[in-house]
Protein backbone atom coordinates (compact mmCIF):
# COMPACT_ATOMS: atom_id res chain seq x y z
CA UNK A 1 0.00 0.00 0.00
CA UNK A 2 1.18 3.46 -0.82
CA UNK A 3 0.56 6.79 0.82
CA UNK A 4 -1.40 8.07 -2.18
CA UNK A 5 -3.80 5.11 -1.94
CA UNK A 6 -5.41 6.60 1.17
CA UNK A 7 -8.23 9.10 0.73
CA UNK A 8 -10.21 11.08 3.30
CA UNK A 9 -13.93 11.81 3.18
CA UNK A 10 -16.70 12.91 5.53
CA UNK A 11 -17.90 10.24 7.91
CA UNK A 12 -21.49 9.03 7.44
CA UNK A 13 -23.77 7.13 9.84
CA UNK A 14 -23.08 4.01 7.75
CA UNK A 15 -19.42 4.25 8.87
CA UNK A 16 -20.24 4.13 12.60
CA UNK A 17 -19.69 0.39 13.09
CA UNK A 18 -16.32 0.37 11.29
CA UNK A 19 -15.23 3.52 13.13
CA UNK A 20 -16.21 1.89 16.43
CA UNK A 21 -14.01 -1.09 15.51
CA UNK A 22 -11.08 1.22 14.71
CA UNK A 23 -11.62 3.08 17.99
CA UNK A 24 -11.60 -0.20 19.91
CA UNK A 25 -8.27 -1.21 18.34
CA UNK A 26 -6.58 2.19 18.68
CA UNK A 27 -7.65 3.41 22.11
CA UNK A 28 -7.92 2.04 25.63
CA UNK A 29 -10.79 4.46 26.36
CA UNK A 30 -13.38 3.41 23.80
CA UNK A 31 -16.54 5.17 22.73
CA UNK A 32 -19.66 3.10 22.08
CA UNK A 33 -21.02 2.66 18.57
CA UNK A 34 -24.04 4.70 19.70
CA UNK A 35 -21.80 7.65 20.57
CA UNK A 36 -20.47 7.63 17.01
CA UNK A 37 -24.05 7.60 15.69
CA UNK A 38 -25.04 10.42 18.05
CA UNK A 39 -22.30 12.66 16.63
CA UNK A 40 -24.53 13.41 13.65
CA UNK A 41 -27.13 15.11 15.87
CA UNK A 42 -24.91 18.15 16.40
CA UNK A 43 -23.72 20.54 13.70
CA UNK A 44 -20.70 21.40 15.86
CA UNK A 45 -19.20 17.94 15.19
CA UNK A 46 -17.17 17.28 12.06
CA UNK A 47 -15.84 13.75 11.54
CA UNK A 48 -13.87 12.20 8.70
CA UNK A 49 -12.69 8.75 7.73
CA UNK A 50 -9.58 7.61 5.89
CA UNK A 51 -9.93 4.70 3.54
CA UNK A 52 -7.69 2.58 1.39
CA UNK A 53 -9.74 1.03 -1.37
CA UNK A 54 -13.00 0.10 0.31
CA UNK A 55 -11.45 -0.41 3.75
CA UNK A 56 -11.78 2.22 6.46
CA UNK A 57 -8.38 2.55 8.10
CA UNK A 58 -8.76 5.65 10.27
CA UNK A 59 -10.99 8.41 11.53
CA UNK A 60 -10.76 11.83 13.14
CA UNK A 61 -13.08 14.51 14.39
CA UNK A 62 -13.43 17.93 15.90
CA UNK A 63 -16.08 19.62 17.98
CA UNK A 64 -16.43 23.36 17.42
CA UNK A 65 -17.39 25.81 20.18
CA UNK A 66 -17.05 29.50 19.46
CA UNK A 67 -13.66 30.26 17.95
CA UNK A 68 -12.09 26.98 19.09
CA UNK A 69 -12.13 23.50 17.60
CA UNK A 70 -11.27 20.60 19.88
CA UNK A 71 -9.76 17.50 18.29
CA UNK A 72 -11.77 14.70 19.84
CA UNK A 73 -9.94 11.71 18.36
CA UNK A 74 -7.57 10.71 15.59
CA UNK A 75 -7.17 6.97 15.17
CA UNK A 76 -5.47 4.94 12.45
CA UNK A 77 -5.27 1.15 12.38
CA UNK A 78 -1.74 -0.08 13.17
CA UNK A 79 -1.17 -1.65 9.74
CA UNK A 80 -1.96 1.68 8.03
CA UNK A 81 0.27 3.89 10.16
CA UNK A 82 3.23 5.75 8.63
CA UNK A 83 1.33 6.03 5.34
CA UNK A 84 0.07 9.58 5.74
CA UNK A 85 -3.47 8.83 6.92
CA UNK A 86 -3.15 10.71 10.21
CA UNK A 87 -1.59 13.69 8.42
CA UNK A 88 -4.42 13.76 5.87
CA UNK A 89 -7.04 13.48 8.60
CA UNK A 90 -5.43 16.23 10.66
CA UNK A 91 -5.20 18.43 7.58
CA UNK A 92 -8.93 17.96 6.96
CA UNK A 93 -9.68 18.90 10.58
CA UNK A 94 -7.61 22.09 10.30
CA UNK A 95 -9.31 23.08 7.04
CA UNK A 96 -12.78 22.48 8.52
CA UNK A 97 -11.88 24.40 11.68
CA UNK A 98 -10.80 27.38 9.60
CA UNK A 99 -13.92 27.13 7.39
CA UNK A 100 -16.15 27.25 10.47
CA UNK A 101 -14.46 30.42 11.72
CA UNK A 102 -12.20 28.94 14.36
CA UNK A 103 -9.09 30.84 15.38
CA UNK A 104 -7.45 27.91 17.15
CA UNK A 105 -7.46 24.14 17.48
CA UNK A 106 -6.91 22.44 20.84
CA UNK A 107 -6.23 18.82 21.76
CA UNK A 108 -5.00 16.53 24.49
CA UNK A 109 -2.60 13.68 23.81
CA UNK A 110 -1.13 11.00 26.04
CA UNK A 111 2.30 11.99 27.32
CA UNK A 112 3.71 8.65 26.07
CA UNK A 113 2.32 9.00 22.53
CA UNK A 114 5.52 10.26 20.91
CA UNK A 115 4.34 9.63 17.33
CA UNK A 116 1.18 11.71 17.78
CA UNK A 117 3.06 14.50 19.55
CA UNK A 118 5.56 14.59 16.69
CA UNK A 119 2.73 14.78 14.14
CA UNK A 120 1.13 17.67 16.02
CA UNK A 121 4.43 19.56 16.40
CA UNK A 122 5.09 19.09 12.68
CA UNK A 123 1.73 20.78 12.11
CA UNK A 124 2.66 23.74 14.34
CA UNK A 125 0.85 22.69 17.51
CA UNK A 126 2.51 23.94 20.67
CA UNK A 127 2.51 22.16 24.02
CA UNK A 128 0.75 24.41 26.52
CA UNK A 129 0.20 22.43 29.70
CA UNK A 130 0.22 19.05 31.38
CA UNK A 131 -3.02 17.65 32.79
CA UNK A 132 -1.96 15.31 35.58
CA UNK A 133 -3.58 11.87 35.43
CA UNK A 134 -5.92 13.05 32.66
CA UNK A 135 -6.22 9.60 31.09
CA UNK A 136 -7.30 6.35 32.69
CA UNK A 137 -6.75 2.77 31.52
CA UNK A 138 -3.84 3.26 32.19
CA UNK A 139 -3.55 6.43 34.23
CA UNK A 140 -1.34 8.89 32.40
CA UNK A 141 -0.75 12.60 32.02
CA UNK A 142 -2.31 14.43 29.09
CA UNK A 143 -0.43 17.08 27.15
CA UNK A 144 -2.59 20.04 26.09
CA UNK A 145 -1.61 21.33 22.66
CA UNK A 146 -2.79 24.33 20.66
CA UNK A 147 -2.52 25.45 17.05
CA UNK A 148 -3.42 29.01 16.06
CA UNK A 149 -5.13 29.36 12.69
CA UNK A 150 -4.33 33.04 12.18
CA UNK A 151 -1.72 32.26 9.50
CA UNK A 152 -3.61 29.53 7.70
CA UNK A 153 -1.18 29.44 4.79
CA UNK A 154 1.12 27.35 6.96
CA UNK A 155 -1.30 24.41 7.14
CA UNK A 156 0.53 21.45 5.62
CA UNK A 157 -0.82 19.64 2.58
For residue range 98-130, what is the model confidence (pLDDT) as tens digits? 999 999 999 999 999 999 999 999 999 999 999
pTM of the model: 0.90
How many CB atoms within 10 Å of residue 32? 12
Domain boundaries, the chain: 3-150
Which CATH number is correct for 3-150, 3.30.565.10, 1.10.10.410, 3.40.630.30, 3.40.50.720? Answer: 3.40.630.30
- Answer yes or no: is pLDDT of 14 > 80: yes
Binned at pLDDT 50, 70 and 90, residue 4 comes out as low
pLDDT of residue 152: 66
What is the per-residue pLDDT across 128-140, written as a single tens digit (0 to 9) for each? 999 998 888 899 9
- The residues annotated as belonging to the active site are 108, 120
Amino acid sequence: MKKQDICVREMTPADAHAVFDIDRICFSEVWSEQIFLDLFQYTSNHYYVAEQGHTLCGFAGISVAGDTADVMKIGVLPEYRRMGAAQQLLQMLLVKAKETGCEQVMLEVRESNAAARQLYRKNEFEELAVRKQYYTQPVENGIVMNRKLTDFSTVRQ
